[in-house]
Structure 1
Amino acid sequence: MHFFASSMCVSCLSFLLCKPLLDCSPLISTELHRISQGIIHSWFLNCLSNLCLVSPSGLLFFPGRAGVLEMTHFLHPAFGIFGVLTGLFLFLVPVITFKRILLNKSTEQFSGIPYVMTLLNCLLCAWYGLPFVSPNNILVLVVNGTGAVIEFIYVLMFLIYAPKKEKTKIFGILMIVLTLFATIAFVSVFALHHKKRKVFCGFAASIFSVIMYGSPLSVMRMVIRTKSVEYMPFFLSLCSFLCGTSWFIYGLLGNDPFVASSNGFGSGLGILQLILYATYCGNKGQTKKTADGSSLEVGQDNQEDSK
């Protein structure tokens, strides 16, 4: 119960501190949001309008702003759909890990914290994608709503097969995560409206998206130290880059700075992972094998390898 009490105190204190600012300066928050949207969107459209394309006759031409706007209406959902596909792949990658957990009926050295934090990110992003919070973001709702269901199943399986001490820790973190999400949802529905609701939920979703994308930093540090990509699978890094890039462009085309900023960070980290892979791909070493022959890749605590 102390997890509930502490998390509720933090949430209520944050709300009491933030609410006067939101109430006293609605024009400021709305104007800053409008300006940030306008600057990013105008910059992106101007960049596209200056692109030189090749016509069927082989002549160079510039599409102009009207042509760019027409392309935007097509590219916006296209990048969103591609982002949904790559996002679902990322959510399904841990299936290999949980297949091993089911076979051995033990979580062994795997950590459940990444799955709980990814669950929080999916819940916040799905909430941000709801029509009454952020209109025209149904694809954000679809991919993160599906991801929330998948991650919740992972967490439940982890709670079933984890040792008692680890189970207590993960259950406590899960309660804090659910309480935090419920508090943000409650505040956004009953205390905020229209633009302020979108800004509040957008900031919350962006912060935890950056945290989720930043989770591979420890693996990247290990790659640099060991000069081996044994625990950084190529296809996982590639899909992380493609997913972040797709949603980054989707956010730019949709004039949504919250989607663009967090996924732009993820795209940059994906590029760094691919650079590291290209640098050390010849030093994979001897990959450890599990009882069923699969390699340990996702969500494993590798402290024993950092000696």
Structure 2
Amino acid sequence: MILSVSSSVITICKDAAGVAGNIFAFGLFASPIATFRRILRNQSTEQFSGLPYIYALLNCLLCMWYGTPFISYDNMMVMTVNSVGAVFQLIYITLFIVYAEKIKKIRMLGLLLLVLGLCAIIVAGSLQIIDAFTRRIFVGFLSGASLISMFASPLFIINLVIRTKSVEFMPFYLSLSTFLMSSCFFLYGLLNDDPFISAPNGIGTVLGIVQLVLYFYYNNRTREDSSEPFIVEYA
């Protein structure tokens, strides 16, 4: 009886962490909207790079595939959040291709096809692995490595903040959303006994804390005439 109650509590806490993670992730996915308003207004991608959206799409697709019942058990929250993230990234990439210069347009289209092709190969290849445990390990390592690389991408911005002593290029709400989403899915992974979710998000939580500490430390030194903040996306 006690074990049954304990299991029910863990399940409720895990689901709550997953739902909260989905909500905070939406803030991350929506963060580039301001950038694309500018692109739509100016009818040009200017000096913005489309690579973050390509990386984010690859990460979302890999993590979405890991969250499906074909690969891992009871990871519906992971599948849903990354499905929404993939839709957001596809919209951003489409808009970028539409308003980019010809050379950037061709490069972005090529990268998009490369990502879709690579994911198709991974999906088809993993389905050929008969043993379910081995299949989960294979896809789990790929999705985990992709997620870690995405969480590690703000390191150059952290370095920039320290060098310039300014938080101009590190938006507060983006850093806060990163921390909240990572901590929720870190807890979700722990409660679900899934190291491929808890480990990468644990790293993301630590990096989110670092960003918040730096923000509050350097906030009073931020230049008032700061330009539009640089946007970095996660999944």
Q: Output the TM-score relative to the length of structure 2.
A: 0.93
Distance 1:149 1:238 in 2: 22
| Counterpart in the other structure of 1:28 | none
Report SS of the residue matched to 2:230. coil
Q: Deviations over 1:105-163 (max 9, x none)?
A: 10111110000000000001111111121121111111100110110110011111111
Q: 2:162 — aligned with what?
A: 224
Matches within 5 A, 1:1-307: 68-289=6-227, 295-298=228-231
The Cα of 1:226 is off from its aligned counterpart by: 0.2
1:298 Cα shift?
A: 1.6
Q: Counterpart amino acid of 1:259? A: I
The Cα shift of 1:191 comes to 3.1
- Deviation per CA, 1:231-287: give whole Å up to 9, x if none: 111111011000000000100000111011111111111011011112101111034
Unaligned 5+ runs, structure 2: none
8 Å contact from structure 1 (residues 230, 287) kept in 2: no
Stretches of 4+ aligned residues off by more than 6 angstroms: 64-67
Deviation per residue, 1:65-105 (Å, 9 max, x gap): 77654431221100000000001110011111111111111
The share of aligned pairs that are identical, in percent, is: 43
Query: What CA distance in whole angstroms lies between the structure 1 residues aligned with 2:224 and 2:211?
Result: 20
Q: Distance in 2 between matches of 1:68 and 1:238?
A: 31
Secondary structure at 1:260's aligned position in 2? helix
Aligned residues: 231
2:54–2:93 CA contact under 8 A, matched in 1: yes
> Which residue in the other structure is 1:61 paired with?
none
TM-score by length of 1: 0.72
> Residue 103 of structure 2 aligns to which amino acid in structure 1?
K
Alpha-carbon distance in structure 2 between the residues aligned to 1:245 and 1:66:
26
Secondary structure in structure 2 of the residue aligned to 1:281? helix
Name the amino acid aligned to 1:247: F
Q: Which residue identity is paired with 2:218?
A: Y
User: Partners in 2 of 1:220 and 1:157 — Cα distance?
Assistant: 28
Query: Residue type of the partner of 1:219?
Result: I
Structure 1 window deviating more from structure 2 (188-197 vs 99-108): it is 188-197
* Higher-RCO chain (CA-CA 8 Å, sequence separation at least 6): 2
Letter in 1 for 2:64: A
User: One-letter code of the match for 2:186?
Assistant: F
Deviation of residue 215 (structure 1)? 1.5
Q: Which runs of 5+ in 1 are unaligned?
A: 1-63, 290-294, 300-307
